[in-house]
Structure 1
Amino acid sequence: MANFVLVAGARLGAWAWDDVVPHLRAAGHAAHPLTLSGLAEKRGRPAGLRTHVQDVVTEVERHAPDRVVLVGHSYAGVPVGQAAQLIGPRPARVVFLDAALPVDGESFAAGWPDGGAELTAAIEANGGSWPCARPEHFAGHGLTEEQTARIVAGATPHPGATLTEPATLTGPLADLPATYITCLAAGEPDEQAAALLAAGHWRSAELDTGHWPMFSRPGELARLLIDAAAP
């Protein structure tokens, strides 16, 4: 049995995994969807990137699971990648789901094509939070109107400091036992992930859908997560 700790990307909370969790549990695994500080039911809690890293570490320690599988979607790849280096013993697997990866000394925003200028400006204009996306942002990602409406309705503004604070790594990401899942409709992995995959450090998997597969393909995503958890 694997113990999945599931962390969704920016603006989302544990609720984003509602359609995936039943598939994991039906297959005999434990699933612990996590809301990061400042989001969803934890909205209003002050949070920086270190807070989100500690959120993940604390969740693992709270459940004290064996065979922990950390899953980080989108932005959450940044805190999950750091947390994976801090928990002991090493996780059985880290799954980066169409995710950003942490770069030592750099922020999530720094990975944007403009160096994060547009993202930083949006945070400043919104009182320190990254505002929620409009429905048209989700077009072309294999989502139904109902699924898009569900994401929009459940989203909360994202704490800006988590996006602009630099990451801290204690070792090479290549040393993590990791799988990278690419969502094909969202484009290719970034250069860092592509290099790790090309070098054979990590396993690779693909989903023929967009960037939010927990909504568009929950059953298929659950099967890939279960496959990734296998030794």
Structure 2
Amino acid sequence: MSDFVLVAGAWLGASAWEDVVPGLRAAGHGVHPVTLSGVGEKREEPVGRQTHVTDIVDEVDRLGLRDVVLVGHSYSGIPVGQAAERLGDRLARVVFVDASVPADGESFVSAWWQGPAALEAQLAGNGGWWAPPAAPDFEGQGLSDAQTARIVSDCTPHPGASLSDRAVLSGGLGKLPATYIKCLLDGPEPSDDVAALLTGERWELVTMDTGHWPMYSRPDELAGILNGTVAH
């Protein structure tokens, strides 16, 4: 069996995976949700250069894990992609859940779809933190009222330092065994950088007919897809 290391996107900690964990454990896998520094119950921990990458690698080291399926959602695809490269032969697969992917020397801010200045202005206006969304911001993402209430309660401000942290990659992401899960309510096609990676032999695309937070909207379906990735 594999060990799944689950890392949620901006504003969210380990609790985001609460409804996904049972489906993975029922299949016999180890499951290890991670809260990154500066969010959730770790909101007081400082965040600097490569902190989130180190958070992930240190958790794998601390637990002595091998045959690791590293799962990154949204923002966390950037540190997860870097951590996956650092795990070497301990990595079984990396899974990006509607996620950003890292590019060497680039950050989440530099690839922000509205332009870097737009996100930097948001951070500057909130003391260097990215304010979490309000309930109306989750509309159209396939979430019930109860699921929306839960995700809003789980969110905490996200440290801006992590968003501007430039990725460090020594090789190409295309060399890693990877699954990209595209959530169709958040856009029908992967971004251009992801589409380019999907042309390689080691990457596969899976789609879900739900929004950007499938661990809340479709946790059982997401668990089933994740379980399927270990058959490669």
Report the TM range for the smaller structure's normalisation.
Answer: over 0.9
**Residue 31, structure 1, aligned to residue 28, structure 2:** no
How far apart are residue 144 of structure 1 and its match? Answer: 0.4
- Letter aligned with residue 203 of structure 2: W
- Residue 231 of structure 2 is matched in structure 1 by 230
- Residue 192 of structure 1 is matched in structure 2 by 193
Matches within 5 A, 1:147-226: 147-187=147-187, 188-226=189-227
Secondary structure, counterpart of 2:33 in structure 1: strand
TM-score w.r.t. length of structure 2: 0.97
- 1:157-214 superposed Cα distances (whole Å, 9 cap, x missing partner): 0000100121111110001111101111111211111111134430111111000000
- Residue 41 of structure 1 is matched in structure 2 by 41
**Residue 84, structure 1, aligned to residue 84, structure 2:** yes
Matches within 5 A, 1:69-80: 69-80=69-80
Secondary structure, counterpart of 1:70 in structure 2: strand
Asked if structure 2 preserves the Cα contact closer than 8 Å seen for 1:142 and 1:216, the reply is yes
- Tell me, in whole angstroms, the C-alpha distance in 1 between the residues paired with 2:89 and 2:29: 19
- Residue 93 of structure 1 is matched in structure 2 by 93
Asked if structure 2 preserves the Cα contact closer than 8 Å seen for 1:185 and 1:208, the reply is yes
Asked if structure 2 preserves the Cα contact closer than 8 Å seen for 1:49 and 1:79, the reply is no
- 1:126-169 superposed Cα distances (whole Å, 9 cap, x missing partner): 11110011111111110001111111111000000100121111
- Residue 51 of structure 1 is matched in structure 2 by 51
Asked if structure 2 preserves the Cα contact closer than 8 Å seen for 1:49 and 1:163, the reply is no
- Residue 61 of structure 2 is matched in structure 1 by 61
How far apart are residue 40 of structure 1 and its match? Answer: 0.5
- 1:98-121 superposed Cα distances (whole Å, 9 cap, x missing partner): 000001111101112343111111
Runs of 4+ displaced beyond 4 Å: none
- Tell me, in whole angstroms, the C-alpha distance in 1 between the residues paired with 2:66 and 2:200: 29
Asked if structure 2 preserves the Cα contact closer than 8 Å seen for 1:178 and 1:203, the reply is yes
Aligned length: 231
Asked if structure 1 preserves the Cα contact closer than 8 Å seen for 2:12 and 2:156, the reply is yes
- Residue 122 of structure 2 is matched in structure 1 by 122
- Structure 1 unmatched runs, 5+: none
- Tell me, in whole angstroms, the C-alpha distance in 2 between the residues paired with 1:192 and 1:104: 12
Considering only aligned residues, what root-mean-square deviation do their CA atoms show, in Å?
Answer: 1.1
Q: Which moved more, 1:178-187 or 1:44-53?
A: 44-53
Asked if structure 2 preserves the Cα contact closer than 8 Å seen for 1:4 and 1:71, the reply is yes
Asked if structure 2 preserves the Cα contact closer than 8 Å seen for 1:180 and 1:204, the reply is yes
- Tell me, in whole angstroms, the C-alpha distance in 1 between the residues paired with 2:165 and 2:91: 25
How far apart are residue 221 of structure 1 and its match? Answer: 0.2
Secondary structure, counterpart of 2:88 in structure 1: coil
TM-score w.r.t. length of structure 1: 0.97
